[in-house]
Structure 1
């Protein structure tokens, strides 16, 4: 059991090392763009599937509530929380449109649309990002592996260059927390 646990921790460390070696400037660029949008009065829309849906909710809650510092609530919506909208859209338009339809309804030019997909290829995440792009939103991706189809759709796609879904998700929430800390420092 101890060896198993050490292997898991070492995989996490390797993913973290990849983030440190390759992604610090990219995360900084993402933080600046999110901060600039919020300062201009725009909002953040976040979405993903499964664990990425939970991450979307987690990050949105840190914006609207607070992360560490006491500050005013900031506009962020996880598009994964309205079960009535999600089931109606799925029923009427198909599951692939659950995020795109909500982005069409809620986004305005200048908003930030954050799509989270460990593979970078989730169809509904891709369609949500496409909808944001068409509206004139800043599109930010959190993906893994090689970034998948999200590479060509996002203004900036933060790709965790590992293949293990759990390690990608662990880095995604770290990056989400870094974005929240950067927001705290500005507001």
Structure 2
């Protein structure tokens, strides 16, 4: 019984990865190029999400501030999910919906990138942060599920995973984050060859 469930889930993952189409790949390319351009102009990339997407946000930032495959200088990536004093202060004094919007207003500058991760694309705190970033002249990139939800109208580029199942979307999200990490390193530091 357990083995059958394992096989079924592996089959779902394989089918999902095989269903990634040219449009999705083009969105990944566009997002990578926007991030590369931002970093080349000494901008910063701010990453956010809730729950599992918060963990993915921090994973992405870890790859970029530490390293992914190449030995190189760190990139200016910041996770807006990590400062518990800020998150609880804003959540308590204002509302949980505001926990990212206030941080965007405080730290993000025109030309920076706000990279939002949400399986549904409908989390209110993500929507408010994206709207604030757009109002401030920032580049907005989203990583979401099949429809993109409300994020779709607020992102300069939206990478959609062709699934409605949260676990499968999240598994594909981390794959996309790794692809983005590799593209960013490769195109910014093509002469770096040390791998770790």
Provide the TM-score with structure 2 as the length reference.
Answer: 0.93
1-side partners of 2:112 and 2:44: how far apart? 5
> Which position in structure 2 is the counterpart of 1:70?
71
2-side partners of 1:34 and 1:9: how far apart? 32
- 8 Å Cα contact 1:55/1:173 also seen in 2: yes
* Alpha-carbon offset, residue 75 of structure 1: 0.5
Q: Which runs of 5+ in 1 are unaligned?
A: none
* Corresponding residue pairs, total: 187
Is the aligned partner of 1:154 residue 2:167? no
Distance 1:135 1:63, change over 3 A: same
Structure 1 runs (4+) deviating above 4 angstroms are none
Q: Which runs of 5+ in 2 are unaligned?
A: 190-196
- SS of equivalent residue, structure 1 residue 23: helix
* Alpha-carbon offset, residue 17 of structure 1: 1.6
Describe the superposition over 1:15-63 as per-residue Cα deviations: whole angstroms up to 9, x where unpaired: 2122245411111111111101011000000000000000000001111
1-side partners of 2:28 and 2:55: how far apart? 20
Is the aligned partner of 1:53 residue 2:33? no
Greater radius of gyration (CA): 2
2-side partners of 1:96 and 1:119: how far apart? 16
Is the aligned partner of 1:129 residue 2:130? yes
- 8 Å Cα contact 1:118/1:165 also seen in 2: yes
* Alpha-carbon offset, residue 182 of structure 1: 1.0
Note the aligned Cα RMSD (angstroms). 1.0
> Which position in structure 2 is the counterpart of 1:103?
104
Describe the superposition over 1:69-104 as per-residue Cα deviations: whole angstroms up to 9, x where unpaired: 000011001100000000001111100010111011
1-side partners of 2:22 and 2:14: how far apart? 12
- 8 Å Cα contact 1:115/1:126 also seen in 2: no
